[in-house]
């Protein structure tokens, strides 16, 4: 939508050219704008099924709450999308829409983790001491930095900010993610549940930096004076946006797994030692 400059091709909402059900001619920007709305309805339907299903079969109350939270969030996403159309795409609402979309993705991925066999199996807790910040806190900081970075990228993409804050953000994210990944790999390299998301996060980040560079070249340098959205620009910027969602989701998985498996408590660790329990790290 955004890369194709199709944002206002359908100018009304919740109707499309005055109708709630008629398919408008799917040409030009309308095919992106109306197609986006149809796909959004499909996603909404899937999330309704997911929320109801979770309510019926999952005995964990917090999972049922997460299902309804995802449904509430996707409804809010649709409303913010409609509002940004009605207001003529102000950067604040478009940025909110972009960021909330990424958060819904991360939430649904987290729910997939919570219902996976991997999660339902028992895991041995790991005690951690004498590390600052503790690994769960470090992973949470990495997720938060990525989240802010997505906001800065969206604010630039929707003309609310210059690129510089996003570039500074890229340096901060790279530093924090590398710190987190090195911590996990050096301390917990033998623990699959932690090593795998950490390795994946690092690989995704490296590719994201490359995609960001491609987005920069095609949007700001070569495609600067393009009269029509340039196909290579559309592909590279959309790839960069979508990859950003993957980076966020994997960092959230790492954050959840570190929080689940690692206990940071100096006193408790000392007590465990006294009782002769194994202490890792
Ligand atoms: C499941 C629900 C939805 C999801 C997950 C979703 C997701 C997204 C995403 C990821 C973008 C791209 C943001 C960017 O590139 O920075 C976008 C753009 C957009 N969406 Fe949605 N969307 C949803 C529903 C809707 C609805 C119902 C509308 C109503 C008209 C809408 C209107 C828009 C508009 C106008 C843009 C372009 C904004 C701009 O270029 O300034 N979206 N959406
Ligand atoms: C830490 C790594 C990075 C992450 C997670 C990231 C994420 C994002 C996201 C999610 C967006 C779009 C937000 C949206 O509309 O929803 C974006 C936009 C953008 N980013 Fe990045 N980015 C990163 C690094 C970089 C780097 C290193 C560069 C440049 C060298 C860059 C250049 C851009 C450009 C040019 C845009 C706007 C694309 C457009 O105009 O369509 N990014 N970034």
* Pocket probe mutation, ligand 1, options 8, 34, 35, 36, max atoms within 8 Å of Cβ: 36
Tokens 């339902």 — which residue?
120
Considering the domain architecture, whether residues 137 and 107 belong to the same structural domain is answered as no
Structure tokens at 50: 């997911």
Structure tokens at 217: 């070249």
What residue numbers bound the domain in which 11 lies?
Answer: 1-121
Boundary (domain end) residue, out of 73, 96, 121: 121
Boundary (domain end) residue, out of 94, 121, 148: 121
CB atoms within 10 A of CB 208: 23
Considering the domain architecture, whether residues 26 and 96 belong to the same structural domain is answered as yes
Considering the domain architecture, whether residues 170 and 272 belong to the same structural domain is answered as yes
Predicted local confidence at residue 216, as pLDDT: 97
- Nearest protein CA to atom 4 of ligand 2, as residue: 244
Which ranges in the chain belong to alpha helices (H)? 28-57, 61-86, 91-114, 117-120, 135-157, 164-188, 192-216, 231-261, 266-274
The per-residue pLDDT string of the chain (281 residues; one tens digit each, 9 = 90 and over) reads: 999 999 999 999 999 999 999 999 999 999 999 999 999 999 999 999 999 999 999 999 999 999 999 999 999 999 999 999 999 999 999 999 999 999 999 999 999 999 999 898 878 889 998 899 999 999 999 999 999 999 999 999 999 999 999 999 999 999 999 999 999 999 999 999 999 999 999 999 999 999 999 999 999 998 878 888 899 999 999 999 999 999 999 999 999 999 999 998 755 545 555 555 444 44
Considering the domain architecture, whether residues 166 and 178 belong to the same structural domain is answered as yes
Considering the domain architecture, whether residues 188 and 246 belong to the same structural domain is answered as yes
* Pocket probe mutation, ligand 2, options 168, 212, 236, max atoms within 8 Å of Cβ: 212
Considering the domain architecture, whether residues 60 and 146 belong to the same structural domain is answered as no
C-beta of residue 104 within 8 angstroms of C-beta of residue 77:
yes
Task: Answer whether 36 contacts ligand 1 (Cβ < 6 A).
Answer: yes
C-beta of residue 262 within 8 angstroms of C-beta of residue 134:
yes
Predicted local confidence at residue 71, as pLDDT: 98
**Neighbouring C-alpha atoms within 13 Å toward the C-beta of 155:** 16
Tell me the C-alpha distance between 113 and 102, whole Å. 17
Query: What DSSP line would sit under 93-114, residue for residue?
Result: HHHHHHHHHHHHHHHHHHHHHH
Domains: count for the chain? 2
């Amino acid at each position: 939508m955004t890369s194709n400059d199709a944002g206002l091709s359908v100018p009304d909402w919740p109707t499309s050219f005055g109708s709630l059900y008629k398919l408008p001619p799917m040409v030009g920007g309308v095919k992106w704008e109306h197609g986006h709305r149809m796909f959004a309805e499909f996603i909404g339907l899937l999330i309704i099924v997911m929320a109801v299903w979770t309510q019926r079969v999952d005995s964990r109350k917090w999972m049922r709450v997460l299902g309804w939270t995802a449904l509430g969030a996707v409804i809010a996403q649709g409303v913010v999308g409609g509002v940004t159309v009605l207001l003529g795409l102000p950067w604040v609402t478009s940025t909110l829409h972009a960021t909330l979309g990424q958060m819904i993705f991360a939430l649904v991925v987290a729910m997939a983790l919570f219902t996976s066999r991997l999660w339902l199996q028992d895991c041995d807790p790991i005690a951690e001491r004498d590390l600052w910040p503790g690994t769960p806190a470090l992973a949470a900081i990495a997720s938060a930095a990525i989240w802010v970075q997505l906001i800065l990228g969206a604010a630039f993409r929707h003309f609310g900010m210059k690129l510089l804050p996003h570039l500074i953000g890229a340096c901060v994210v790279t530093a924090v993610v590398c710190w987190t990944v090195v911590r996990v790999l050096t301390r917990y390299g033998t623990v699959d549940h932690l090593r795998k998301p950490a390795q994946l996060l690092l690989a995704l980040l490296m590719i994201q930096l490359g995609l960001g560079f491609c987005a920069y070249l095609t949007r700001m340098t070569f495609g600067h004076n393009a009269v029509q959205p340039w196909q290579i620009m559309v592909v590279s910027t959309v790839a960069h946006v979508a990859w950003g969602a993957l980076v966020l989701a994997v960092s959230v998985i790492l954050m959840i797994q570190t929080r689940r498996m690692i206990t940071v408590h100096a006193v408790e660790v000392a007590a465990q030692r006294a009782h002769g329990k194994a202490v890792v790290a």
